[in-house]
Structure 1
């Protein structure tokens, strides 16, 4: 199943979509108004989130599935968003191009320990249809489409689509500027839904695509496969949990393999990122 969050009369509602059927879980059970609440129930019962929902569908009113998708907001409000870097060979190559210090990135690509960094708070993260940001002090900015892992109390409970907005010019000046290149207003987007592990299947066998349009002209359109991901989501999450008090609900972006070359985003560009079995995330660009 896929799980959506909508806002109705100022209040959040949790909706489960199974094929063409959409179930209002909040109407079925009072207090079940977020993905985190659903994950808590599954954790207490020691079962999967889909198993919990299957026991609720008989009491849940049916909604128009297309309308739910159109009204979807950020599917969960994560306490923290983290990201992994240099998890695809093409990412290592791109970092070498932008920085001229390729050896440090290749060392990470080949090393035992992955690169993990703090990416965003909930206030810096946007959902589908909202605007992602490019920094006003950067002249080379790109989206980074990524499979995002949803982590509840240290365990993987779902997947969503992520956009790790990045200033390549700032990071390229010096790798120690990474936090400024990555963390700023509207620096991250996730959504439109959270797909359960059963819905996704093998997370390292999914088609991932990105399309960028400017004034109805296609500026970038390419696809790849998460099979090129050299570290599994489980490995990345294990490092996130090491000696680290992770919050109840976190999102971990797993890295990118689609890197637009000789291209920089501009305000009003439109970005669409699709991941097989997960969803399609669409955002416009603004300068922050």
Structure 2
């Protein structure tokens, strides 16, 4: 399971990463208290061990056993976490993601494709494409007659792209970001491939969804992206997206209630800050108000031809597209080892991670078999 040794942990502490109103929120997560991953609920600032109700987060959500009274109170959150390892808040859920859900990200994907993954060529492609399209994508409803007219105009100008198809066509891009149990949480290292020369974080809101397709909460996520790989070919999406430690999530899932609803997700403003060891600083933002497809529609599309008996999480996409130069003019942004990535929202908290190459990040060794053996040894599996 993902674990960050004491000497490698970031200076950020959990008390700086919680939602502003965390004592009034219901937070779902996982801790390793020394014997293995434990699903917890935080309510009124108190941690509740939920293994008496369910041994995994997936079962807890699937059975609706999210009443803290069904668990065992362990004490105040900050006291409990001081003696435990905070893990990614999800376990057996499939990790899904929606791509190209914002106009700006759609244009950036077209630029990647036209530049063939070459960051040096991207500036020229961006200039030519924006001159042709302007901001027309922002107001287009995917699948509408207006979208069809725009598609034909772009075809006529030889500017159509497979990315624009999923940006304004009827079908959203839904892909698998990572296997169950592979995500990392707050304070963990995040990985980019050592053979990638053009990559970036993607700050996103992530929905937690039941097997029946009902969104029950939201968290912050980082859908780490390799722009050079996907830009060379969309068929390299798997290598661009699914890599060791490339899926960050947390610090907790905030469950929906009277104080926090899907409308808060629709209204969320996500901020990003990258601090490099070279002194480089990049600030960005992503506004969910500008998403082109409603979150509930993306959930529906994820379920259109599949079942998820353990539920799933769904990254909703990002408005953020880094074009601020880091080294050479015109080459835009790419990560360097040691970058500190902070993704924030007042209602969801702060997700903080440090960038390494995938081969240097902690290897993913705690899979489904290991989890089952651990739960069995702890006497948590029942017929």
TM-score (ref. length: structure 1):
0.87
- Relative distance call for 1:108 and 1:128 in structure 2 (3 A) is same
Show structure 2 runs of 5+ residues with no match: 1-25, 115-158, 324-331, 359-383
1:30 Cα offset (Å):
2.2
Q: Which residue of 1 aligns with 2:6?
A: none
After superposition, the C-alpha distances for 1:71-100 in whole angstroms (9 at most, x for unaligned) are 421111143211101101110111122221
Q: Which residue of 2 aligns with 1:127?
A: 185
Q: Distance in 2 between matches of 1:98 and 1:263?
A: 13
Q: Distance in 2 between matches of 1:76 and 1:170?
A: 28
Secondary structure in 2 matching 1:98: helix
Matches within 5 A, 1:15-94: 15-18=40-43, 21-26=45-50, 30-42=52-64, 49=66, 52-53=67-68, 55-56=69-70, 60-65=73-78, 68=81, 71-94=85-108
Moved segments of 4+, more than 3 Å: 31-34, 64-71
After superposition, the C-alpha distances for 1:5-38 in whole angstroms (9 at most, x for unaligned) are 111122333333345x223233xx6254543232
1:115 aligns with 2:185: no
Q: Distance in 2 between matches of 1:107 and 1:60?
A: 50
Q: Distance in 1 between matches of 2:109 and 2:248?
A: 22
Contact 1:164/1:189, CA 8 A, preserved across alignment: yes
After superposition, the C-alpha distances for 1:52-78 in whole angstroms (9 at most, x for unaligned) are 23x448x62432436538842111114
Contact 1:24/1:60, CA 8 A, preserved across alignment: yes
Alpha-carbon RMSD across the aligned residues, in angstroms, is 2.2
- Relative distance call for 1:25 and 1:123 in structure 2 (3 A) is closer
- Relative distance call for 1:266 and 1:110 in structure 2 (3 A) is same
Q: 2:215 aligns with which of 156, 180, 190?
A: 156
Contact 1:147/1:275, CA 8 A, preserved across alignment: no
Secondary structure in 2 matching 1:42: coil
Secondary structure in 1 matching 2:313: strand
Q: 1:287 aligns with which of 327, 352, 357?
A: 357
1:128 Cα offset (Å):
1.3
Contact 1:14/1:35, CA 8 A, preserved across alignment: yes
Q: Which residue of 1 aligns with 2:260?
A: 200
Matches within 5 A, 1:265-280: 265-280=335-350
TM-score (ref. length: structure 2):
0.67
1:122 Cα offset (Å):
3.1
1:142 aligns with 2:200: yes
Contact 2:220/2:350, CA 8 A, preserved across alignment: yes
1:103 aligns with 2:177: no
Residue range with higher mean Cα deviation, 6-15 or 188-197: 6-15
Contact 1:92/1:102, CA 8 A, preserved across alignment: no
Compare CA radii of gyration and give the structure with the larger one: 2
Secondary structure in 2 matching 1:93: helix
Q: 1:247 aligns with which of 301, 309, 321?
A: 309
1:115 Cα offset (Å):
0.6
Q: Which residue of 2 aligns with 1:46?
A: none
